[in-house]
Amino acid sequence: VDDPYSQYLTIRLMDEETVKNAEFIGEAKYPLKELKPHEPKGLWLDLVYNPKTSAPEKSRGEVHLVL
């Protein structure tokens, strides 16, 4: 981490298949500045398909993380 005040943790959720290649489900980002060392934090984050678009996008679900 170079600068926790401007960087984000990026979570990419994939569906692993035994027959096909892994399918991308969605991505979520969380600002590192919101995390404190050695303090677990539970989060629900919205997954989006294309986080690079500036247009609002329909959520592809949520993911629960404990960091």
* Domain coordinates in residue numbering, the chain: 8-66
- Among 1, 62, 63, 58, which Cα is nearest to 31's? 1
pLDDT of residue 17: 80
pLDDT of residue 18: 73
- Say yes or no to pLDDT of 57 above 80: no
Those residues whose C-beta lies under 8 Å from the C-beta of residue 60, and which sit 6 or more positions away, are 25, 26, 47, 48, 49
pLDDT of residue 54: 58
- When pLDDT is averaged across residues 19-41 and rounded to a whole number, the result is 91
- When pLDDT is averaged across residues 36-64 and rounded to a whole number, the result is 84
Type of residue at 41: K
